Structure 1
Amino acid sequence: ASVMSRVQQVATRSGRAQESMRVVAVSKTKPVGVICGVYDADHRCFGENYVQELIGKAPQVVPPAERHEIFIPLSLHERTAGWN
């Protein structure tokens, strides 16, 4: 199943609206080419926990006007919240 259909299933089971959920593609350690492929497939939410990697990758992937909405910093809590 696609990622978004799985999100819909989880939303339905939990009684939440799908729009209240966010799918974050974790770009940590991924090459820019892979991130560009995901971006070109219309995904617009990436998580990066190393600022230096974000600074290096963002200009190569995302137009400046969109950058603040595309990459989000991930805290340790956010990175591990879905693992339980």
Structure 2
Amino acid sequence: MNSSYHVGVDGLSLPLVAMTTIVFLACAVYALRQPDRPRIQAALFLFLQGVSLGVFVAPTSSCSSCSSTSRSWACTS
């Protein structure tokens, strides 16, 4: 199937990843005080955190002529 997944953090994504992690940690500490539906809340919370961090660490490519199997971040054409 030859599929791959690349992640990376650049200068703009690094502060966003750090802020997202801090905000989610603060929300998790606050949510521990809530007694109702802890499993559902924790599952949805972890899903939301994973998606949010995935958005910031996924590499973006604005070049349509680059190959999807290319290992480089920069487009050479």
What's the TM-score, normalizing by structure 2? 0.23
Which fold has the larger relative contact order, with Cα–Cα distance below 8 Å and residues 6 or more apart in sequence?
2
Structure showing the higher strand proportion among its residues: 1
Structure showing the higher helix proportion among its residues: 1
What's the TM-score, normalizing by structure 1? 0.22
